[in-house]
Amino acid sequence: MAKAVSKGTSIDRKAYIVTGPTSGIGRYTALALAKHGTVVLVGRDPVKLATVQKTIEQQGRRAMSVVCDLSEPRSVRRAAAEIVALNLPIAGLLNNAGIMQARPTKSTLGWDMSFATNHLGPFALTEALVPNLPDGANVVFVVSAVEDPERKPAVAAGFRGGRYISAEASARGEWKPGGAKRLGFDAYATSKQAILAAAMAFARETPRLRFNAIEPGLNPTTGLGGDDVGAFVRFLQRFVIPLLVPLLMPFIKILSTPKRAARVITKILIDSSGQTGVYYDEGGHPMQGSALVRDPTFQDRVVAETRALLATVPG
């Protein structure tokens, strides 16, 4: 159930929803957005949600927590209903939560976990909330440039771009041949390709709202892999890499930090200029996705197939 424990203030006239708010980019963005209104924290772990909520409330601001597993459509629907029942003046939705698994796993429905979490979940949450969002509300998707097979840094890292066949095939963990050698790379790239395409389609479908996407840059300190990456990598992410990234950022354009990404994302979410259908880079400047993801026909196909797939899940 949604939980709120704080006194309202004058800034609470707006509300912002953040998925994946318990660590990394999501956490920093939630803390930043709390300066502009109520923050609805959406995540799987109620204990971690409570910790972030407490941090926000100790700063004299307002937050609410909604438990949701984005890999499960029924959980997403329940969470969306809870959010709507809060009757908040929602100014923005940040679809930030995501995973990248070294060893692909399946959801309880038997769907590829990366595709379910990174694409199907935010897609379903957005669709459920759209009818209740006021005109001009901003919806932002955190995506990744590794979906582009021509992206040189991604290719150098071993990615081969999104390998989308269909929504059903992706859910089964099937990708176009000729993909990456490392397990999980095709799943991640394809999930980000699909949700980026959907974001652009949503912008055309619903002009009363603002749909944009952002490539947050390479954030080596974030925990996309979770426990899957191993104890040594987690140690590096927590203690070693944070010291190196600021030194290297002036020389490697795509490098970023969760704090920097949060600043850019917050700026996009509170923007009132009416920009929509824009794909931003790590610095908040417009960029282009792959040739395929820019194709409106492909965008519409992804949306239609995703809707059909999600419709197969009752309840």
Whole-model pTM?
0.88
**With contact defined as beta carbons under 8 Å apart, do 141 and 122 qualify?**
yes
Question: Which of 122, 106, 102 lies closest to 20 in space, CA to CA?
Answer: 122
What pLDDT shows up at residue 314? Answer: 93
Tens-of-pLDDT digits for all 315 residues of the chain?
565 444 444 445 899 999 999 999 999 999 999 999 999 999 999 999 999 999 999 999 999 999 999 999 999 999 999 999 999 999 999 999 999 998 899 999 999 999 999 999 999 999 999 999 999 999 999 999 999 999 998 998 899 999 999 999 999 999 999 999 988 999 999 999 999 999 999 999 999 999 999 999 875 555 544 444 454 334 334 433 343 434 334 434 555 589 999 999 999 999 999 999 999 999 999 999 999 999 999 999 999 999 999 999 998
242-262 pLDDT, tens per residue? Answer: 434 343 344 345 555 899 999
What pLDDT shows up at residue 160? Answer: 97
What pLDDT shows up at residue 2? Answer: 61
55-101 pLDDT, tens per residue? Answer: 999 999 999 999 999 999 999 999 999 999 999 999 999 999 999 99
What pLDDT shows up at residue 259? Answer: 92
What pLDDT shows up at residue 156? Answer: 87
What pLDDT shows up at residue 13? Answer: 80
What pLDDT shows up at residue 256? Answer: 55
What pLDDT shows up at residue 255? Answer: 56
- How long, in residues, is the chain? 315
CA dihedral 250, 256, 260, 262 (to 10 degrees): 170
Which residues pair with residue 65 across a beta bridge? Answer: 3, 41
Domain 12-310 has CATH 3.40.50.720: yes
